[in-house]
Amino acid sequence: MEKFCRDIWRTIEDTIFEQHGCLLPAGDITVDVILHWNKEEVLGSLKRRGKIASWVQDREFEDGNMRRYKIIVDSEKI
C-alpha cells in the first residue's frame, strides 16, 4: 500500500506542476487525474494522511477501467 501511495502522490504532484508550473497559487489547488478505478482506496489513504484535502470521481468520464478524479490539494502540502 505504501508504494501505491507514493506512486499516486507522485502522479498528483506531476500533474500539479504540469498544469501550474513552479509558481503555485496560494490555497487549494484542484487537479484532474486519471487513474485505474481500484486506486480509490489509495486516494482515501492519502486523504486520511492529510496529503490531499478531498477527492471526488468525475462521473462523466469513464474509459474502460480508468476513471477521472478531481483532487484538491493544499499548496502548502506540496
Q: What is the pLDDT of residues 3-31, one digit of tens each?
A: 999 999 999 999 999 988 878 888 899 99
pLDDT at 62: 83
Q: Return the C-alpha cell found at 49.
A: 494522511
Q: pTM here?
A: 0.85
Contact criterion met (CB below 8 Å) for 51 and 11: no
Break the chain into its structural domains and give their ranges. 2-77
Residue 78 has pLDDT above 90, yes or no: no
Torsion of CA 55, 58, 62, 64, to 10 degrees: 10
Cα 35 to chain centroid distance, Å, stands at: 9
CATH code linked to domain 2-77: 3.30.1370
1 or 26, higher pLDDT: 26
Residue 52 has pLDDT above 90, yes or no: yes
